[in-house]
Structure 1
Amino acid sequence: MEPKAEEDALSPEPRHRSICTNCDRPTRVCLCHALPLPPIQTATRILIVQHPHEARHKLSTTPILNKSLLRASSVTSRRLRRGLSPILDRSPPALYLFPSSASSTTPALHISAVRPSADLVLIVFDATWQHAREMVRASEGFLSEFATRVCLGVDESVGGGSIYDSELILRKEPFAGCVSTMEAVARALRVLEPNGPEIEEKLVGVLREMVRLQAGFVKPVKPRPKLLKKKAEEKEKREGSEQGGA
């Protein structure tokens, strides 16, 4: 569960709140000035599969991706299956982005080892880490017919920080290497597109501006008195043990 303070800028407000009709964000955090115009053209088609819970998340980057990339689209579902997306029903050459784990039955190639092909589709799962695991597991029977599992690299033994390249933590990821959906797509396109570095720079630029705007509405989280008391007691106990063993 994400800290409540992280969503203050986009949390429910009175009905008179002004919403931008172009980027669909509150006008005080409008991103229109940062969106690429026209949207970025890519050879790769991007399909984002959003978990229903993530589709309601105020800080989801999927809507911004759809507006930034000409060939990006999204579906809301807990699993991929035939009939859900016309893009996938024709079984195109495809990659689905998700790292391997100890329990994975399908190993993931590092995306740098993939050779881009014509009409390539990049599939990205937009959800919490646990929900994404469940979505991938439920979808792999269908995806195994035409898609290859790839990854950017993740280390589950190391705690994650901000999903953005920023000291501002808007949403904390569980493992090192985890990134937002938008940053994951940017990194993947860097490898898959001829002008990949330029595309990555533009997308990350939009992401940075989103973080900058959001920063003005993040309230510091007040420490819990009980937690502070417990830490103080543990510190005293450690110091007492050290002195007794001296």
Structure 2
Amino acid sequence: MELEPQPETSAPSHRRRSSCSNCNRPLPVCLCHVIPTSPIPTATQIIIIQHPHESRHKLNTTPVLTKSLLNATSLISRRLTPNLHPLLTDNHPSPATFYLFPPTHSSPAITLSDLKKSVNEFRNTNNVPVVLIVFDATWKHAKEMVSASEGYLSKFSTRVCLDGFDEGREGGSIYDSELVLRKEPCGGCVSTLEAVARWLGAMEENGPEIEERLIVVLREMVRLQAQFLKPMKPRPKKAQN
């Protein structure tokens, strides 16, 4: 017996969520109401080296930073190389260049509070820009990026870590709640946006005001995103042998 031919069914169409034309985020989590209307000027030139995978992450804070700060630029790369940015040329890298990353036994770092006085003195006596380099990625990828870049970075830049870094202490989330969006690996580790905010808070003339404006954006970003997540129970710690 022959079967009657079945009518063809077209594959269901997946509509892409509408995005804001200004902040490029989905409309339900648009941040235009908290992003500064005019980007905030800073004396620090900020270069964000972003891992290709991180550029596709939903909670990526780099686009928010570059829209909020006048002197912040981002580059997608797995490592920092000469001439990747105009401020990092072979011949004339700024002598006041710093990169934020937690220390290791082989690569110690100066704390932000210890650095503050010397940078302010340097800025007042030298007509060169202060350059801050940050790596935006998961912690695993960020370690790989820094390791691949340090041969070049060590020639002219200083490694800096935020105060409070403690490898032996468990890290928190990017905000205080029973919800966890992104768990940090240890104490003193924070999101890219918060790290830059804390640097500017310490180094800029009107730093506390700039830091607060950026943290307001971060808090709102997290608040909006949290509406679509369920509470996560902390994993029980395994007993160590």
TM range (shorter): 0.7 to 0.9
Do the aligned partners of residues 165 and 181 (structure 1) sit closer, same or farther apart at CA in structure 2, a change above 3 Å counting?
farther
Q: Once the two structures are superposed, what CA deviation does each residue of 1:140-197 show, in whole Å capped at 9, x if it has no partner? A: 1111222111110311111112023555311111111110000000001111101000
Partner Cα separation in structure 1 for residue 177 and residue 72 of structure 2: 25
Q: Secondary structure at the match of 2:168?
A: strand
Q: Secondary structure at the match of 2:53?
A: helix
Q: Secondary structure at the match of 2:194?
A: helix
Deviation at 1:221, TM superposition (A): 4.8
Moved more, 73-82 or 112-121: 112-121
Partner Cα separation in structure 2 for residue 68 and residue 42 of structure 1: 11
Aligned to 1:206: 217
Partner Cα separation in structure 2 for residue 16 and residue 139 of structure 1: 37
Aligned to 1:63: 63
Deviation at 1:15, TM superposition (A): 2.7
CA RMSD of aligned residues (A): 2.3
- Superposed, which structure 2 residues align to 1:159-174 within 5 Å? 159-174=170-185
Aligned to 1:179: 190
Given the alignment, which residue of 81, 94, 98 partners 2:97?
94
Structure 1: gaps of 5 or more residues: 1-12, 232-246
Structure that is richer in helix per residue: 1
Q: Once the two structures are superposed, what CA deviation does each residue of 1:74-123 show, in whole Å capped at 9, x if it has no partner? A: 11111111122122113112110012123x2x321112222142411110
Aligned to 1:15: 15
Aligned to 1:120: 130
Residue type of the partner of 1:55?
S
Structure 2: gaps of 5 or more residues: 1-12
Asked if 1 retains the 8 angstrom alpha-carbon contact of 2:180 and 2:231, the reply is no
Asked if 1 retains the 8 angstrom alpha-carbon contact of 2:179 and 2:232, the reply is no
Partner Cα separation in structure 2 for residue 195 and residue 72 of structure 1: 17
Residue type of the partner of 1:150?
V
Partner Cα separation in structure 2 for residue 46 and residue 159 of structure 1: 29
Residue type of the partner of 1:99?
P
Partner Cα separation in structure 1 for residue 168 and residue 145 of structure 2: 22
Q: Secondary structure at the match of 1:182?
A: helix
TM score, norm. by length of structure 2: 0.82
Aligned to 1:109: 110
Aligned to 2:10: none
Q: Once the two structures are superposed, what CA deviation does each residue of 1:118-138 show, in whole Å capped at 9, x if it has no partner? A: 411110011111211111111
- 2:60 pairs with 1:50: no
Aligned to 1:5: none
- 2:151 pairs with 1:141: yes
Q: Once the two structures are superposed, what CA deviation does each residue of 1:189-239 show, in whole Å capped at 9, x if it has no partner? A: 11110100000000000001111111211124589xxx99xx9xxxxxxxx
- Identity %, equivalent residues: 63
Q: Secondary structure at the match of 1:200?
A: helix
Aligned to 2:141: 131
Partner Cα separation in structure 2 for residue 166 and residue 44 of structure 1: 32
